[in-house]
Amino acid sequence: MILFQLFLSFLQIGLFSFGGGYAAMPLIQEQIVEIHGWLSMSEFTDLITISQMTPGPIAINSATFVGIKIAGIPGALIATAGCILPSCIIVTLIARLYLKYRNMDVLQGVLNSLRPAVVAMIASAGISILITALWGNEAVIDFARTNWWMAAIFVLCFILLKKAKMNPILVMVLAGVMKLAVSLIP
């Protein structure tokens, strides 16, 4: 039964996560944290971090990770298959339709109208993760409980990425080193 639940959950994620991995994060969070309780919000944040550091799309890495945690290797295979199946089918159909009707104004209008929704989904996921990083699992913004070290690391990483145009991988490694250094401070 758990394999079927894993398959259906990640099938839904794969089916409705338009816009890529970042857009899938709210859907993944809803399925694995809120609906099924397979991971806590803290574990979900760790999952996103691990998915970012490993090669491959976030949704597929998440499916594999959750599948292994819940049902071992069969769970990983089933969850990953559920996640990629909709994309395989949809991309095949869309490619055929797009090649046939790519110059139609209606199709271009539909594609343009999806962009704001994708941006909203990405922003929602980013804000949820930021709140968890700065204020913990309760997701209640309380400035008295703010983790100021994490806020400083966030701001520094943001500046390094946007202003200094530093390599994102290097920024992630640097953030990990900074957090390790902070944890060693008594």
Per-residue pLDDT, 5: 95
Q: Is residue 75 part of a domain?
A: yes
Distance CA 98, CA 100 (A): 5
Range of the domain at 97: 2-113
pLDDT at 19: 67
Whole-number average pLDDT of the chain: 87
Confidence (pLDDT) at 144: 79
Please indicate, yes or no, if residue 109 is contained in any of the structural domains: yes
Predicted confidence band of residue 66 (pLDDT cuts 50, 70, 90): very high
Give pTM, 2 decimals: 0.59
What's residue 139's pLDDT?
63
Question: In the structure encoding, which two tokens stand for residue 151, read together?
Answer: 């806020």
Structure confidence at residue 3 (pLDDT):
94
pLDDT for residue 41: 87
Establish if 81 belongs to a structural domain: yes
How much is the CA Rg of the chain, to the nearest whole Å?
19
**Per the domain annotation, does 118 fall within a domain?**
no
The total number of structural domains that make up the chain = 1
What is the model's pLDDT at position 90?
Answer: 84
Residue 151 lies in a domain: no
Residue 149 inside a domain? The answer is no
Q: How confident is the model at residue 138 (pLDDT cuts 50, 70, 90)?
A: low
Residue 158 has pLDDT above 90, yes or no: yes
Q: Is residue 7 part of a domain?
A: yes
| pLDDT of 164 | 92
Please state the rounded mean pLDDT for residues 114-130.
Answer: 85
Is the predicted pLDDT of residue 79 greater than 90, yes or no?
Answer: yes
> Residue 141 falls within a domain, yes or no?
no
For residues 13 and 83, give the distance between their C-alpha atoms in angstroms, rounded to a whole number.
6
More confident call, 132 vs 5: 5
Residue 186 has pLDDT above 80, yes or no: no
Q: Which residues make Cβ contacts (< 8 Å) with residue 160, sequence separation at least 6? A: 166, 171, 174
pLDDT at residue 174 tops 90:
yes
